[in-house]
């Protein structure tokens, strides 16, 4: 009823037997995937590590990324990122726009973020426009705080969120 598989017999080498059979026959052998031929479904892409600007680095210019940035040095310019972390010894002079902003150091300029967190070592001189904010005891802040549902939206000259243009109905 059941027969023993040749794979389990001592001295049997299935890969060599398959290669010998396919080499000796004129007709192409049906291809069977080997263990290396199976492709797994694509795994979700791993999130790249945050870009880190070290303490001895000074950047004059704007920074724009869809990823995460950790600032440990000095930046003179605007920063746009997904997650921005300003280190304790870091200074940013310019506007900061990010989904998440964590300030341990100094920012001179406006901060716009969905989630803004000022730690106890933070020093911010400028307005903060946020959806949620956390300010730890000991943080230094000079400016105004304004809550908005969409703090990342572009603003007009009056400092208000630009109205959405409505398209005329065709009819």
- Strands (E) in 15-77, as ranges, are 51-53, 58-60, 63-64, 68-71, 74-76
Let me know if residue 60 belongs to a domain: yes
Provide the number of structural domains found in the chain: 1
**pLDDT digit of tens for each residue in the chain (171 aa)?**
555 555 555 555 555 455 444 444 455 555 555 555 556 666 667 778 888 999 999 999 999 999 999 999 999 999 999 999 999 999 999 999 999 999 999 999 999 999 999 999 999 999 999 999 999 999 999 999 999 999 988 765 445 555 544 455 554
Let me know if residue 21 belongs to a domain: no
The answer to whether the pTM exceeds 0.75 is: no
* Helical spans, DSSP H, in the chain: 14-24
Range of the domain at 111: 51-144
What's the confidence (pLDDT) of residue 157? Answer: 45
Let me know if residue 129 belongs to a domain: yes
């Amino acid at each position: 009823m059941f027969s023993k598989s040749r794979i389990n017999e001592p001295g049997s080498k299935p890969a060599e037997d398959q290669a010998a059979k396919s080499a000796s026959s004129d007709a192409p052998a049906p291809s069977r995937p080997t263990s290396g031929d199976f492709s797994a479904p694509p795994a979700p892409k791993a999130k790249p590590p945050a870009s880190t600007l070290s303490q001895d680095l000074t950047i004059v210019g704007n920074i724009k990324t869809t990823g995460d940035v950790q600032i440990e040095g000095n930046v003179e310019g605007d920063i746009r990122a997904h997650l921005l972390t300003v280190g304790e010894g870091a200074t940013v002079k310019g506007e900061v726009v990010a989904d998440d902003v964590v300030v341990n150091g100094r920012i001179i300029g406006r901060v716009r973020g969905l989630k803004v967190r000022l730690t106890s070592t933070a020093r911010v001189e400028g307005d903060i426009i946020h959806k949620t904010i956390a300010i730890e005891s000991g943080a230094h802040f000079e400016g105004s705080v304004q809550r908005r549902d969409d703090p990342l939206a572009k603003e007009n000259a009056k400092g208000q969120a630009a109205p959405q243009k409505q398209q005329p109905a065709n009819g």
